[in-house]
Amino acid sequence: MKARVLGSALVALAFSAALAAQRESSPPRTADGHPDLQGFWYFGSATPLERPKEFEGKEFFTAEEAATFERSTDEHRGDVLAVHAPEWLDYGKHVGVDRRTSLIIDPPDGRVPALTPAARARVAARRARIQNSPSDNPEDRPLQERCLVFGAGPPLLPGPYNNNMQIVQTPGAVIVLSEMIHDARIVALDGRPAPPAAMRFWLGSSRGHWDDATLIVETTNFAEAVSFRGSDDRLRVVERFTLDGPDRLRYEFTIDDPTAFTHPWTGAFAMTRTTDRIFEFACHEGNYGLRNILGAARAEEQEAARKR
């Protein structure tokens, strides 16, 4: 009798442990049953977008290589003359936990695919226009200088600072708020179609759906002036958000633009939950760079007029 009681207790204990483990491994859910991605997430990283030449053919760092790379990268960044004071910068100091040598996971070489001939010509023309622009008006300058588009995605990528985002969910939409330039993307989940091709947006138009535990977001209809690594107005970005644990979010993005890149490419990295606040990014209010560019152009014109 005692053996049966003890055996039943052990079975019950084992069942409780298994149930607890299952609950631990299952992502938290919202009231409508989908994984709860809400909260603040940090994605600063020392892992470069593209694989460095010295690690060609090597997909992963060893532990020793990762430590050396992190140290040398941090030292190099400290020597770079930056627009902002060093205390403003918040580069990630560590490579990802998977120790990949690049954020790009496809193609296997960890590099951005080559641009098409048409895209190369377009990029060269854009650079020449910026370099030779008379800077008569703010509209002559690039979007980043004008604080219109500046790293808010899609896709999201680690940068020198403001590597934080917030996710808010409702049954019909998901909001992705980026600390960089405080832009918010509203991702419709109600099955509505993408807007007509003639309608264009700085952050594109995002539509999302759930595939089991993964939120998949497809963004199209980017404004013609928006360019990511040489993309054009046919840019299509597909993002995947998946909870790997209560405090870890896997983020994956695929760039598909057949008239700009010779083939699609994909990047991935992990975000970690944070309790840090997201602060306002007062780009317009402190945009002394643009003011100085326009002021310098006027000074050059006045100097040229005096010499005539």
Q: Determine the pLDDT at residue 254.
A: 98
Sorted by where each begins, the domain ranges of the chain are 39-292
Cβ-based neighbours of 147, under 8 Å, separated by 6 or more: 181, 283, 284, 287, 290
Q: What integer pLDDT is reported at residue 83 of this predicted model?
A: 62
CA distances (Å), 289 to each of 6, 160, 180, 217, 302, in order? 75, 17, 17, 34, 20
Distance of alpha carbon 284 from alpha carbon 290, whole angstroms: 9
Q: How far is CA 79 from CA 63, 73, 74, 214, in A?
A: 25, 10, 9, 40
Q: What is the pLDDT of residues 108-117, one digit of tens each?
A: 999 999 999 9
Mean of pLDDT values over 20-39: 77
pLDDT in tens, 137-181: 888 888 888 888 887 789 999 998 899 999 999 999 999 999 988
Lowest mean pLDDT among 71-80, 103-112, 175-184, 239-248: 71-80
Band of residue 23 on the pLDDT scale cut at 50, 70, 90: very low
Q: What pTM does this model have?
A: 0.86
